[in-house]
Structure 1
Amino acid sequence: MGSIQEDASAEFGSSIIQNAWSCDTLEKAEAFLASPRQASSDGGDGYKIRMQNYVGGSFAGSPSSASSTTTTTASQYIEAINPKTGRAFGQVPITSADEVEQALRAATDAFGAWSTTPATVRSKHLQRVAGLIQEHRELFAVWESIDQGKTLERARVEVDRAVSNFNYFSTFILHQQTAARVVDGSNILTYEHRSPAGVFALISPWNMPLYLLTWKMAPCLAFGCTAVAKPSEVTSMTAFLLCEVFRRAGLPKGAMNVVFGDGATTGSALVRSPLVRGGVSFTGGTATGIQIRRDTADQIYKHLSLELGGKNPTLVFEDVELDKAVQTAAMAAFENQGEICLCGSRIYVQSSIYDKFVAAFTSYVQTNYKCGERVGAVVSHQHYTKIRSYLLLAQSEGASFSPTTSSETIPPADPSNGYWIDPVVLTDVPPTSRLLQDEIFGPVATISRFDTEDEAVALANGNPNGLAAVLLTRDGARMRRVGERLEAGLVWVNCWLVRELGTPFGGMKSSGTGREGGEYSRDVFTHVRTLHVPLQ
């Protein structure tokens, strides 16, 4: 396989990816995107980048429906938009059902050899992938920032986590254990044996494109499965670059395939296909998760791991150290412009410190969470419009916009220079408001009061979702007493977004089914059987 360091003279697997690969600084990328459009030989109609599927170890051409032409229609491609400017820089193909089947056949053909590849060899493949991502850290961060709207600093954090995903699972598979028992009163030894589950569909969301995609890819490959992955059509760029990493890393052909497209055409064909024998690992909206369950209801053999939405509470008790509590609550509310499924957007504060907290919190947010600095643009015009509609709802319901007035806070209906929304803090929100129930998924936080511990728990649990929660208190007994009553898969006490990759990740209630991470990922990607063997 060669060393972790790639050959600098290696030819690119796709001529289209070559220009993007050279943009390893924000300045280079912005200059590239600002240069005049020219008709391209690949039929890109002057778009800077036309992404290609990665199937069977190579980049596929344009979708079959347009393979014989140099033009395209809106039904065949989706524009890739830079949220910071609102301008298109590329095209994402809408992969047809037939092309999805081709990719799944490549994964099926590769499964036999990959599933029997020794763990030590699979480990080296994953380490090489991790090394190449690390080597091109700034390249991935730049394009993640351009494609998703997040700040460059935030993008770097997520690239580092993608590296950690591959490194973690590359070593995890070298130290697995199994269980063996002797049946009481007999000479029969029983032991557990695990084998790769099969071909998987891996579908990731737009908010943390590279990090969450690799969170699925790394364990899938580590445990001997093959897959067809589909990133969000809204943020496909770093997945396209990752395909080049797989090629350079020498990953066996067909072990990991990537197709691009929307949910209705590409995603639906992928999850429905009987060639997906292992299962579906999906992170995204609750409505889509429900549709996946419906689409696979008659395919009982498919394992479903669904990490869905969150409308997470942050509980602030009166014994906190105020400055630290404010910082933690603000980070949990507004990091990545609130576009993290784990964000604590519902803040509940004990009445005795409510006024002090609101004043300190709004002041801190004003100073530290500014658009273009720590806050990026929201991902798309559609999402911008959705967030704006909730602000209009807040205005109509008489909520207080702190620290600015509603007319200054609500962004314009038609943004002219990108999808920028300043962080908004809402108080005096009616208890029955949709603002406290719906996942807004943007830079909007509500602050409400509570008096007693029981009331705080009831408010926190009074939502159909149950993904995460933040508990801020210095009372050690309360940490356990409240923390163990919160209906959330992940509870952070006096911290937020801290992850140990072996711990179970997933939610309760409408926030999904299944857990991933360490041994929990092994449960997703392997079958377990029990063998009974006579000792004599």
Structure 2
Amino acid sequence: SQLLEAAPHPSLFFCYYLLRSGVGRLTDLATQAPLNVSFSDPVQGKPLKEAQGEVAYSALFLEWFSEEARRVYGDVIYTPAKEKRALVLKQPLGVAAVITPWNFPSAMITRKVGAALAAGCTVVVKPAEHTPFSALALAEVSLSPAAIPPGVYNVIPCSRAKAKEVGEALCTDPLVSKISFTGSTATGKILLHHAAGSVKRVSMELGGHAPFIVFDSANVDQAVAGAMASKFRNSGQTCVCSNRFLVQRGIHDSFVKKFAEAIKTNLHVGNGFEERTTQGPLIDEKAVEKVEKHVNDAVSKGATVVTGGKRHQLGKNFFEPTLLSNVTRDMLCSHEETFGPLAPVIKFDTEEEAVAIANAADVGLAGYFYSQDPAQIWRVAERLEVGMVGVNEGLISSVECPFGGVKQSGLGREGSKYGIDEYLELKYVCFGGL
């Protein structure tokens, strides 16, 4: 409460004062390898190249929103009444509470904070208890000369034992006008319940269970490359990672064979500071146990381990990149998000069947499919019940494009020109007697 009370009153002035000066420092961090590692939070376990990539990506969000701040335009509305004129103003919502996850501890902060500050809001960040250092590193940057006024960017790190208490306090405090959360659907529902008491504006980027569909017309090599990029980034610990690989019967065996070869050849589990490493540890042993549970369940019901399938010898938080075939819809990995390096392949016969399987999930964040049939591309892209679709592409995130899902994957959009609207209120002003 003391921190929230100390936050300055929201102002559009912040967007220029912070973003035009602060972005330079953050961009510098992204290009300095030793600082880069600490800024991306080494506790998270990303290999060095991925960590450096994340910080560069983080800087792009601040750069993007520093420019979008110039375009917070209102509207002039002409009315039938000659003596009246109508204006629509865009104003900052107020204090925004930002609750971020551990898997992208730097980028998830700047994607939210950049938009909030560009809108003129002050922010309070509650980072994941596993990875508080990125939020604190950004706080250090913000305190540098010519960065931002005190109290505009605030951080509340806390232990796992206190996380629920802090989350509830932010959602119920009357000084907070906006909640932005990235995390599990279950936690998002709890926060929505707390925020409903004071009818706060909320943005929720929640869980996913992305389908990756390969049709018979697809270029197999292209599909395998996309599958590798989509599945194994951050050891499978991203909300837009492909979780279910649906492969049409005519191309199934060829795809599985080439996918297995790519996994064995290109993925190297190891110390993240070694250049050769592409797969680091999972966030904790609980995450490993979930992957292990999904593999064991699938095998017990008839799935085949093509490669991987067990914990890695390096330690308790490592798991081998795993490919399963003969997967069926009754297996846990078919209807639960694994959030780890597991690629289960389900064989299908028709387009209708593939779309039905893909849309059976309660969540709808991202979906991917590979096809060379133009008519099929349009049909499937429009029918997939997700917020983002990759067509013949496995990497879809970009600062310029809206990020978010449908169904139980959340509310609102982040990034792009639409992201700033989540932190702005519309005010209609009617001028009479003219």
Q: Does the alignment reach a TM-score above 0.5? A: yes
Does structure 2 conserve the Cα–Cα contact (< 8 Å) formed by 1:140 and 1:241? Answer: no
In the other structure, the counterpart of 2:128 is 232
SS of the aligned residue for 2:229 comes to helix
Deviation, structure 1 residue 385: 2.1
In structure 2, the CA distance between the partners of 1:510 and 1:140, relative to structure 1 (3 Å rule), is: same
Distance 1:337 1:192, change over 3 A: same
Of 186, 204, 212 in structure 1, the residue corresponding to residue 82 of structure 2 is: 186
Q: Could you tell me which amino acid in structure 1 is paired with residue 285 of structure 2? A: H
Structure 1 residues 234-243 or 149-158, which shifts more? 234-243
Question: Does 1:133 pair with 2:29?
Answer: yes
Taking the aligned partners of 1:410 and 1:127, their CA distance within structure 2 comes to 43
| 1:343 equivalenced with 2:247 (yes/no) | no
Unaligned stretches of 5+ residues in structure 2: 271-276
Match of 1:268 among 168, 193, 199: 168
* Aligned 1:163-242 pairs, distance under 5 A: 163-242=59-138
Pick which of 284-293 and 513-522 moved more: 513-522
- The CA distance in 2 between the partners of 1:142 and 1:307, in whole Å, is 25
User: Hey, what does 1:374 align to over in structure 2?
Assistant: 278
CA drift at 1:462: 1.1
**Equivalent position to 1:258, from 155, 166, 182:** 155
Worse-matched range after superposition: 120-129 or 474-483: 120-129
The one-letter code sitting in structure 2 at the alignment partner of 1:346 is R
Find out whether 1:290 has 2:189 as its counterpart: yes
**Alignment partner of 2:383: what SS?**
coil
CA distance in 2, matches of 1:313, 1:425: 15
Q: Aligned match of 2:321 in 420, 423, 435?
A: 423
Residue identity matched to 1:242: L
Q: Within 5 A, what are the aligned runs for 1:396-407?
A: 396-403=300-307
How is 1:106-185 mapped onto 2 (pairs within 5 angstroms)? 106-107=6-7, 110-112=8-10, 115-117=11-13, 119-134=15-30, 136=32, 138-142=34-38, 144=40, 146-185=42-81
Amino acid at match of 2:320: D
Give the distance between the partners of 1:520 and 1:294, measured in 2 at CA. 25
Name the counterpart of 1:15. Answer: none
Q: Which amino acid aligns with 1:175?
A: R
Q: Tell me, what secondary structure is at the counterpart of 2:71? A: coil
- SS of 1:440 mapped into structure 2: coil
Q: Distance in 2 between matches of 1:428 and 1:310?
A: 23
- Amino acid aligned to 2:136: F
Preserved CA contact (<8 Å) 2:14 2:118: no
Q: Which amino acid aligns with 1:235?
A: T
1:387 to 257, 276, 291: 291
- Tell me if structure 2 keeps the 8 A contact 1:188–1:535: yes
Aligned residue identity for 2:179: V
CA RMSD of aligned residues (A): 1.9
SS at structure 1 position matched to 2:336: coil
Answer yes or no: is 1:311 the counterpart of 2:209.
yes
- Quick check: 1:441 aligned with 2:339? yes
| Superposition deviation, residue 459 in structure 1 | 1.1
- Is the CA contact 1:137–1:159 (under 8 Å) kept in the aligned structure 2? no
Partners of 1:134 and 1:151 in 2: how far apart?
Answer: 15
Q: Distance in 1 between matches of 2:318 and 2:107?
A: 23
For 1:480 and 1:145, how far apart are their aligned partners in 2?
A: 40
Distance 2:252 2:27 in 1: 48
- Counterpart CA distance in 2 for 1:368 and 1:535 is 72
1:437 alignment partner AA: H
Shift, 1:122, TM fit: 4.3
Match of 1:29 in 2: none
Contact 1:140 1:238 in 2 (8 A): no
The 1-side partners of 2:253 and 2:138 are apart by 48
Q: Which residue of 1 aligns with 2:404?
A: 506
The amino acid that maps onto 1:252 is: P
Question: Are the counterparts in 1 of residues 15 and 117 from structure 2 also a CA contact under 8 Å?
Answer: no
How far apart are the structure 2 equivalents of 1:126 and 1:504? 23
Q: Match for 1:353 among 240, 247, 251? A: 251
Q: Does the residue aligned with 1:401 lie in a helix, a strand or coil?
A: strand
1:389 positional shift: 2.0
1:12-46 Cα offsets, whole Å, 9 max, x none, are: xxxxxxxxxxxxxxxxxxxxxxxxxxxxxxxxxxx
Q: 1:135 to 1:148 in 2, by over 3 A?
A: same
Matched length? 424
Whole-angstrom distance in 1 between the partners of 2:398 and 2:27: 20
Q: Is the 8 A contact 1:260 1:266 kept in 2?
A: no
Alpha-carbon spacing, 1:131–1:337, altered in 2? closer, same or farther (3 Å): closer
CA deviations 1:264-289 (Å, max 9, x no partner) are 2322222222221x210000011100
Per-residue displacement from partner, 1:86-121 (whole Å, max 9, x unpaired)? xxxxxxxxxxxxxxx2221222xx125xx1527543
Correspondence for 1:5: none
Q: Which runs of 5+ in 1 are unaligned?
A: 1-100
Query: Structure 1's 220 and 146: CA in aligned 2 closer, same or farther, altered over 3 A?
Result: same
- The residue matched to 2:175 in structure 1 has which SS? coil
Q: Please say which structure displays the higher CA radius of gyration.
A: 1
Which residue identity does 2:348 align to in structure 1?
F
Higher-RCO chain (CA-CA 8 Å, sequence separation at least 6): 2
Write out aligned runs for 1:409-420 (5 A): 409-411=309-311, 417=315, 419-420=317-318
Task: Provide the TM-score with structure 1 as the length reference.
Answer: 0.76
How far off is 1:185 after superposition? 4.8
Q: Contact between 1:126 and 1:170, CA under 8 Å: does it hold in 2?
A: no
2:41, 2:217 → 1: CA distance? 38
